[in-house]
Structure 1
Amino acid sequence: MRRQTLTALCFAALLAAGPALAGCSSSSDGGGDDYIVVNAGEPQNPLVPSNTNENQGGRVVDRLFAGLKYYDVDGKSYNELAQSIESPDRQHYKITIKPDWTFTDGTAVTAKSFVDAWNYGALGTNGQLSSWVFSPIAGYDEVSSAPPKAQTLSGLKVVDDRTFTVDLTQPSMDFELSLGFSPFYPLPDVAYKDIKAFGEHPVGNGPYQLTAWEHNVKIEMKPNSGYHGGRPAKNNGLRFMMYQTFETAYADLLAGNLDALDTVPDGSLGLYKSELGDRAIDHPTAQNLHIGFPKDLPHFGGPEGVLRRKAISMSINREQICANIFHGARLPARDFTASTLPGFRGDLPGVQWLTYNPDEAKKLWAQADAMSPWSGGLQIAYNSDGGHQAVIEAISNSVKNTLGISAEPAPYPTFKNMRDEVTHRTIGKAFRYAWQGDYPSMFEFLTSQFLSGSETNDVDYANPEFDRLLKAALAAPTTDQAWTLLAQAQTLLLNDMADIPVLEYNAASARSDRVKAQVTWAGLFDFENIQKK
């Protein structure tokens, strides 16, 4: 799930007082009721698990639904609805769910609740952004084709109310681990009557249930008394407040109106630890930041495009950006995943393309010019409500100064504005994008973003040899063999410069003095376990 770190508009504050107002919430938001108040942004889409692939929707969906597995603060997986997940060969699975589990409308969660939801998510005509997660299941090619040759996955079978089977096209070392990822959540029957309306008022089975969604202002939820899984709410409810900027959110934190802030603004990174003491949180996470290029962007197709992307990559002084803007809260990218994930290797062949080298960058740019002389300028899109201005300006200036071309930031007012253009392939310029892990695996980062045909492959990268290596790694008998094959796959990504990896993240987060809170392996708060002191 692409979970971009961003904030959205706090219209209540803007309409009431204009830009001079420092905070978006009143004092009652922070301590005057039972809610834990956390920063957030407006979800891109209605809250349907298989169509939520960004972190503002994701942080809400993961509270409202429960899957077969869940992940703790360190990324360790546990069974949630699954009583057992059995497989003799990592290809054929028998899954038994726990009894007496219901959705918040009182209907039972059954094996069919999972099978129907997975079939809905996989069917190409439903246009679900996370449909790629079902690609290992037998029959996916038939349901995802246009037009579809089948309406349901042949690899899914309901045995009885509590049992279903899953047949994959090949063995997978990643499949069972992935079953806590949101597209694998079950759905109640009511969802299919009007899926868009359901997304506005979701009926889930997770540790919380939705009580209010005031678009562009806040989302509120209270604990679900019917939840009896391994991550019960240890607070009396969550209020996701939507902010225009991280600076405004940080001011609210200092003023006592916000309990947890997942991203300290760039301008406060040099001081927040001394300012907040033990309320400052510095935690390695599985997140990265890339620059993507539409496949039809002039000068960025074919061999010319490979040379230009490599030249731009070598024009970016990542170390300087990490030190001067982020004060160590970001690290230079060394691959297409994150260094916190099992199997990471920071010395892949081709990693030199991710190293600042102005002289080599100019040579590569000249080689590209010999193919087709450069014209126009480079624009890099980013969402203004996400705190990305400084890093995109730094990247643009670094490219401009090294290559002598026009390179400019292209701000979009909101994350949704930009993501809609990226999703619909109308953006027409380079763009900032990021990935935040949904489960602790390099496979998720690579499959979601670079597998041919993935709905979340924003740059439309397609290389049959990469696809083959990825699938071979999934089927490998040992993890060491899998990591070796993934290294080969990433070497292809580097040679093709599929996009430009720029940074990976350490979480620079903060909490109020009223609560105890931790940041997870993926960079979001462990929401269920935030407790008031």
Structure 2
Amino acid sequence: MRVYRMGMVVFFLIFSLFIAGCGGGDSDAGSENNNQVLKLNISGEPTSIDPAKAFDGDSMEVVNNLFEGLTRLDENSRPQLAVAEKIDQSKDGLTYTITLRKDAKWSNGEPVTAHDFEYAWKRVMNPDTASSASFLMFFIKNAEKYNAGDADADQVGVKAQGDRTLVVQLEQPTSFFQQLIAYTPFAPVYKKGVEAAENPFAEAAGIVSNGPFKITKWKHDAFIEAKKNKQYRKADEVKLAGIKWSMITDDTTAYQMFKQKELHLGEAPPQLQGQLIQRGEAKVTKGSGLGFYRFNVKEKPFTNKKIRQAFALAVDRQMIVKEVVQGKQEPAYAYVAPGTTSPIGDFRKSGKNYIRDRQYDRAKQLLKEGMEEEEWEKLPPITILFSKDEKNKKVAEAIQEMWRKHLGAKVKLQAKETKVYFADQKSGNYMVSWSSFLPDYNDPYNYLESFQTGHSMNRTGWSDSEYDKLLKQARLETDENKRIKLLHQAEERLLEEMPLFPLYYYNNIILQHPEVKNVIRHIVGPNDYRFVQIRQ
């Protein structure tokens, strides 16, 4: 009998361990159903997964799936109620009274409150936070003054009235407000947890979220794991057990992982994009933003407008897109990208192009006139700054040859590590710089606001009172047709003065295994994996 009993003990011990190993514990993203863990890659360690500080594409993707704001974009990129149960707008468009859902909870089971939203938004505005996204809050009354140190937090137009009511006052009517608050800087944070920790978003264990997933493990510079958040308001519609974001920095390695099904989604390496599209392995979808070059207007010869225009016109964008980039991008002859909408439609369709390709004779004439105006006999050597990247290098080499051939310019190329490149661009330590813009919200104002005098994203040294006036008028205009007309005038002014020249509009070149369904992609904003299923 002792042998029998010992055998039974061993059997039950092994069986219990087996159940514990398979059963739904809380240790990792795949504990509930390993077949339903979405395997993704981001290009490196996120700069932050703090909603106030996550302001690059990779960081915002993680945050967007861990947190949820008052509204959330649907599959058509339209804002829908999320944590908000109801949004009431005053007749003058200046005050929003927002009622929160009763079932909105943090991943620890506590209710999400209006106080969490007030705290989170003011935290983004607070100059001590040093949030790159703070300017997105400036539509709110006194937010800009608070950020500049000219107002107190109590004077900002965000107030919690009880646990479920948030009242927001704006500086002026903002037609895209409900879309704006769907983006990650407007997500709530768990006030009690953030206040209690010195660095509340440094490690997985300290992060409480309210979105479809909650973080369970973060091995820095290696991976982030998240599992389904059972407290999420639509938890029954979340089919994934979890998500794992790897951090593979090499494009080719990430592509090989995709081919070997170690990743469910991927991006085509720049050098293979054309081939993969042609073979049907990569899918091209609409994107947002554009690649362009900044001129430093304080550096000769780009102090002269005609010379800036000459260099902008001596470029063959179609050739660059077709033969260099090879991703079926659209050449850019204006600044605001197609698909950028307002309540009255696509901004690009109601506008016009301001540049044409291969205007070599006109470019030579403008260069001659600019040189005569400045009484210069020859051009100084030109240097193009770009971040170390094979695609950026090839584009710069193509432009180098165009400027040599058609303008007689001596052009040097200067590749720098990403952090150094950004530091040089921000400080004005460049002549011509490769640049990239990805919009923060889907409205033409977001594109054009960057070149106002003193704006942190300007980085050209350019200041134009007429342009500033047009942007200010557009910001205050309540008639949408008049607002869009002012923004078209501002874009025309920008491309006339030419502190930059556009090159091509971005699209998305997607690798996705066929068993992955229901990924929500937006023209503007990070991917949403709430409703993804992996069909076996």
Q: How many residues align?
A: 492
Name the SS of the counterpart of 1:52 in structure 2: coil
For 1:355, the aligned partner's letter is D
Residue 47 in 1 paired to residue 49 in 2? yes
Distance 1:458 1:80, change over 3 A: farther
- Cα RMSD (Å) of the superposition? 3.0
Q: Name the residue aligned to 1:5.
A: none
Map 1:148-297; keep pairs closer than 5 Å: 148-189=150-191, 190-194=193-197, 196-201=199-204, 202-229=207-234, 233-261=238-266, 263-273=267-277, 275=279, 277=280, 280-294=282-296, 296-297=298-299
Q: Deviations over 1:19-52 (max 9, x none)?
A: xxxxxxxxx9xx9764322231225622222322
Q: Deviations over 1:456-491 (max 9, x none)?
A: 444465444334433433444443333222111111
Q: Name the residue aligned to 2:366.
A: 364
Q: Name the residue aligned to 2:26.
A: none
Q: Deviation of residue 178 (structure 1)?
A: 0.8
Q: Deviation of residue 144 (structure 1)?
A: 2.4
Distance 1:420 1:213, change over 3 A: farther
Distance 1:259 1:417, change over 3 A: farther
Moved more, 497-506 or 395-404: 395-404
Q: Deviation of residue 318 (structure 1)?
A: 0.5
For 1:219, the aligned partner's letter is I
Q: Deviation of residue 243 (structure 1)?
A: 2.7
Q: Name the residue aligned to 1:89.
A: 92
- Percent identity, please: 23
Is the CA contact 1:245–1:387 (under 8 Å) kept in the aligned structure 2?
A: no
Looking at structure 1, the residues matched to 144 and 235 of structure 2 have their Cα atoms a distance apart, in angstroms, of 35
Name the SS of the counterpart of 2:355 in structure 1: helix
For 1:402, the aligned partner's letter is H
Map 1:84-163; keep pairs closer than 5 Å: 84-87=86-89, 88-145=91-148, 147-163=149-165
For 1:243, the aligned partner's letter is I
Residue 405 in 1 paired to residue 404 in 2? no
For 2:264, the aligned partner's letter is D
Looking at structure 2, the residues matched to 318 and 124 of structure 1 have their Cα atoms a distance apart, in angstroms, of 40
Distance 1:388 1:428, change over 3 A: closer
Is the CA contact 2:385–2:431 (under 8 Å) kept in the aligned structure 1?
A: yes
Is the CA contact 1:123–1:148 (under 8 Å) kept in the aligned structure 2?
A: no
Name the SS of the counterpart of 1:528 in structure 2: coil
Q: Deviation of residue 194 (structure 1)?
A: 4.8
Looking at structure 2, the residues matched to 439 and 65 of structure 1 have their Cα atoms a distance apart, in angstroms, of 17
Distance 1:526 1:103, change over 3 A: closer
Looking at structure 2, the residues matched to 99 and 60 of structure 1 have their Cα atoms a distance apart, in angstroms, of 25
Is the CA contact 2:65–2:212 (under 8 Å) kept in the aligned structure 1?
A: yes
Is the CA contact 1:44–1:416 (under 8 Å) kept in the aligned structure 2?
A: no
Is the CA contact 2:381–2:411 (under 8 Å) kept in the aligned structure 1?
A: no
Looking at structure 1, the residues matched to 244 and 479 of structure 2 have their Cα atoms a distance apart, in angstroms, of 44
Q: Name the residue aligned to 1:394.
A: 398
Looking at structure 1, the residues matched to 326 and 118 of structure 2 have their Cα atoms a distance apart, in angstroms, of 47
For 2:121, the aligned partner's letter is W
Q: Deviation of residue 523 (structure 1)?
A: 7.8
Name the SS of the counterpart of 1:157 in structure 2: strand
Looking at structure 1, the residues matched to 242 and 419 of structure 2 have their Cα atoms a distance apart, in angstroms, of 26
Is the CA contact 1:174–1:443 (under 8 Å) kept in the aligned structure 2?
A: no
Is the CA contact 1:281–1:509 (under 8 Å) kept in the aligned structure 2?
A: yes
- Runs of 4+ aligned residues of structure 1 deviating over 6 Å after TM superposition are none
Q: Deviations over 1:98-141 (max 9, x none)?
A: 12323234443211111112112112343210111111222134
Gaps in structure 2 of 5+ consecutive residues: 1-29
Residue 59 in 1 paired to residue 66 in 2? no
Q: Give the number of the structure with larger relative contact order, counting CA–CA contacts within 8 Å between residues 6 or more apart.
A: 1
Is the CA contact 2:88–2:98 (under 8 Å) kept in the aligned structure 1?
A: yes
Q: Deviation of residue 200 (structure 1)?
A: 4.6
For 2:210, the aligned partner's letter is N
Looking at structure 1, the residues matched to 516 and 105 of structure 2 have their Cα atoms a distance apart, in angstroms, of 31
What TM-score results when the alignment is normalised by the length of structure 2?
Answer: 0.82
Looking at structure 2, the residues matched to 231 and 487 of structure 1 have their Cα atoms a distance apart, in angstroms, of 45
Name the SS of the counterpart of 1:325 in structure 2: helix
Q: Deviation of residue 358 (structure 1)?
A: 1.8
For 1:501, the aligned partner's letter is P
Name the SS of the counterpart of 1:495 in structure 2: helix
For 2:58, the aligned partner's letter is Q
Larger Rg: 2
Distance 1:460 1:426, change over 3 A: closer
Is the CA contact 1:73–1:521 (under 8 Å) kept in the aligned structure 2?
A: no
Is the CA contact 2:309–2:363 (under 8 Å) kept in the aligned structure 1?
A: yes
For 1:103, the aligned partner's letter is W
Q: Name the residue aligned to 1:473.
A: 474
Name the SS of the counterpart of 2:69 in structure 1: coil
Distance 1:43 1:489, change over 3 A: farther
Moved more, 159-168 or 355-364: 355-364
Looking at structure 2, the residues matched to 524 and 329 of structure 1 have their Cα atoms a distance apart, in angstroms, of 21
Distance 1:114 1:480, change over 3 A: same
Map 1:68-79; keep pairs closer than 5 Å: 68-79=70-81
Looking at structure 2, the residues matched to 195 and 298 of structure 1 have their Cα atoms a distance apart, in angstroms, of 47
Moved more, 426-435 or 173-182: 426-435
Is the CA contact 1:119–1:152 (under 8 Å) kept in the aligned structure 2?
A: no
Distance 1:330 1:291, change over 3 A: same
For 2:285, the aligned partner's letter is H
Moved more, 460-469 or 505-514: 460-469
Looking at structure 1, the residues matched to 360 and 350 of structure 2 have their Cα atoms a distance apart, in angstroms, of 21
Map 1:469-508; keep pairs closer than 5 Å: 469-508=470-509
Q: Name the residue aligned to 1:15.
A: none
Is the CA contact 1:382–1:409 (under 8 Å) kept in the aligned structure 2?
A: no
Map 1:414-429; keep pairs closer than 5 Å: 415-423=418-426, 425=427, 427-429=429-431
Looking at structure 2, the residues matched to 230 and 455 of structure 1 have their Cα atoms a distance apart, in angstroms, of 39
Is the CA contact 2:221–2:247 (under 8 Å) kept in the aligned structure 1?
A: yes
Q: Deviations over 1:194-222 (max 9, x none)?
A: 56442554432111122233333322222
Looking at structure 2, the residues matched to 43 and 231 of structure 1 have their Cα atoms a distance apart, in angstroms, of 31
Q: Deviations over 1:364-409 (max 9, x none)?
A: 333343425532322221242x853333332333233332223344
For 1:330, the aligned partner's letter is Q
What TM-score results when the alignment is normalised by the length of structure 1?
Answer: 0.83
Is the CA contact 2:297–2:499 (under 8 Å) kept in the aligned structure 1?
A: no
Distance 1:293 1:141, change over 3 A: same
Q: Deviation of residue 417 (structure 1)?
A: 4.8
